[in-house]
Structure 1
Amino acid sequence: MVSCGKPTKRMRHDMNHQDERSRFRQRVLDGDKLLGAFCPAPSPELIEVAAYSGFDFVVIDAEHGPITISDVVHMTRAAHSAGAPVIVRVPEYSGEFIMRSLDAGVDGILVPQVEEAAEVQRIFQAMHYPPVGVRGLAFYARAHGFTRRTGPEAMNSANQHVLTSVLVETPKGVENIDEIMAVQGLDMVLVGTGDLAANIGYGPETAAKVDAAVTRVAEAGKRHGVTTAIAGQSADDAAKFARRGYKVMVTGMLPHLLRFCTDFVNASRKGMEAD
């Protein structure tokens, strides 16, 4: 019979994965160059594919698409089983969605459409236990091993390891970027260039304005010691943004899968017709 006080082999395996994920926030703070995969479909299998492909982390995109809190639980379990940290992009600022995602065991939260420092302060408080925040206690949740980890030590560990990140994707957010990044506890800012372009309004000067915003956010990140992230779709994008000071690049899984499958189908049809 296994003693209750002695970790089993399976428990040690789980703790090793937990240790790996607990370093994720520190890697972001240290400025490690990381790649993340956005997944907007409620599919644990796609999350596993991203993890096994070598991405440093995955983003469950609950802002767009049909992903529910129940899906977040299953997708998080799949990512953790494959050894990948998980961020959830929540649909909007919602203390409830943030709390329930954290209870599911995710390693970070990404809140879209942030424009002011006061919003960042509310986000930080919702993500952290007292005394620094207002996150409610639920030690019986998955995040704490269903009461395997309890008490002040578990609360402090959660506060130390959860990644606080926001999306800046409006002209107002870019204008207020210094005030946003000055909020204590903010770990990462992701520039949403697609939404930013749409919010600026498409025209002959849109690309130049977006490019100027990309530069402005990167420079603010250097001044405030906040890691900056950006979306890209190619290896050239990754290199280009890294040269401009961005440490993290995220990319959508589905466009890559669609392009790969399309190229495969077109090449295969051409070969079959030539035979």
Structure 2
Amino acid sequence: MAMIDSAFRKALLQRRVTIGTWLQINNATAAEVLANAGYEWIVIDIEHTDIDITSLTDLLRGMYGRGAAPIARVASNDVLEIRRALDMGAEGVLVPFVSTPDQARQAVAAAKYPPLGVRGFSFCRANNWGVDFAENARSANDETSVVVMIESKEGVENIDAIAAVAGVDGVFIGPYDLSGSYGIPGQTQDPVVRNACRRVIEACVRAEKSVGLLVVMPTPEAVAQAINDGFTLVCLGIDTVFLDQGARATRALALSALEKMENARDR
């Protein structure tokens, strides 16, 4: 693969509004179709799916050269998890359940080569299996994005310190886990959860960091609310939801057409 020149990280650092989506289907064709749809970035969800390091590599190949930055939502804040995702060609990582500044520093260290971190050097897909080793070693720290997820009450309480960590390019709210942390699982529009999200957004503004949200059901109203709230990483929908909604809508269309035909015959 060619060297990364990350427009995604540049947008993060500029706090520019970008539109992405979420991939759960473990199939390179699904990744290819989503990447062709014009999104600026796609989160590949490893945490809640059957995607492993081998299939991640295939998904990255499916997305390659289609304009969407691949961001790996790793399964945990683990040095090896983060290293392998980046070695295989992800442009950045979305790190779940970061609740303290120390955990944020751990995520950054795992994603960055020395002297900024502890990522190990290797011949890997990210550097064309060694062909571009020197260039990758030089530029990777500037091109690799680290976004941490706030999914707990503790994370909200520590958000100013987390957002201030050097190398954290953005913060992404996990509203469903966050609602569970406050004892109201699934109630993402509850005032308690909304206020927690507001605290995160305000802290990110103070720290000049991008802040993101997954809008699972992206109605015009929901998208407008996310942008008006101050989110800059706006993730619209999930591939499994797209498939479900598209299939149901098409079937409903066909049934409606059939009903009209039958009514016309009866007249």
Q: Same fold (TM over 0.5)?
A: yes
Paired residue for 1:266?
Answer: 252
Give the one of 151, 170, 175 matched to 1:193. 175
Give secondary structure in 2 for the equivalent of 1:190: strand
Give the 5 Å matches for 1:129-208. 129-138=113-122, 140-151=123-134, 153-202=135-184, 207-208=190-191
Checking the alignment, whether the CA contact within 8 Å between 1:102 and 1:127 is kept in structure 2 is yes
Unaligned ranges ≥5, structure 2: 262-267
Larger deviation, residues 242-251 vs 155-164: 242-251
What is aligned with 1:123? 107
1:205 is displaced (CA, Å) by 10
Indicate yes or no: 2:29 matched with 1:45: yes
C-alpha distance in 1 between matches for 2:100 and 2:51: 27
Distance in structure 2 (CA, Å) of the matches to 1:98 and 1:160: 16
Whether the 8 Å contact between 2:179 and 2:188 is mirrored in structure 1 is: no
* AA partner of residue 256 (structure 2): K
Query: Does the 8 A contact of 2:40 with 2:67 survive in 1?
Result: no
Q: Structure 1: give runs of 5+ residues left out of the alignment.
A: 1-13
Does the 8 Å CA contact 2:12/2:169 hold for their aligned counterparts?
A: yes
State the superposition RMSD in angstroms.
1.7
Percent identical among aligned pairs is: 29
Contact 1:31–1:247 (CA<8 Å) still a contact in 2? yes
**Is 233-242 or 207-216 further displaced after alignment?**
233-242
Distance 2:198 2:67 in 1: 33
DSSP 3-state at the match of 2:126: helix
Aligned to 1:241: 226
Q: Give a deviation string over 1:130-180, Cα, whole Å, max 9, x none.
A: 111111111x211001112123x4213111000001110111111110011
Is the CA contact 2:151–2:178 (under 8 Å) kept in the aligned structure 1? yes
Relative CO higher for 1 or 2, CA cutoff 8 Å, sep ≥ 6?
2
Separation in 2, partners of 1:27, 1:71: 28
Superposed CA offset, 1:64-91 (max 9, x none): 0100000111111111132321100011
Aligned length: 257
- CA–CA separation in structure 2 for the residues paired with 1:48 and 1:33: 23
Q: Under a length normalisation based on structure 2, what TM-score does the superposition of the two structures give?
A: 0.91
For the 8 Å contact 1:197–1:206, the answer to whether it is kept is no
Q: Provide the C-alpha distance between the structure 1 equivalents of 2:9 and 2:210, rounded to a whole number of angstroms.
A: 11
Q: Distance in 2 between matches of 1:154 and 1:257?
A: 37
Distance 1:85 1:150 in 2: 21
Cα distance in 2 between the residues matched to 1:76 and 1:219: 34
Partner letter of residue 263 of structure 1?
Answer: A
Give the letter for the 1:274 counterpart.
K
Q: What residue is the counterpart of 1:252 in the other structure?
A: 238
TM-score (norm 1): 0.89
- Cross-structure match for 2:14: 30
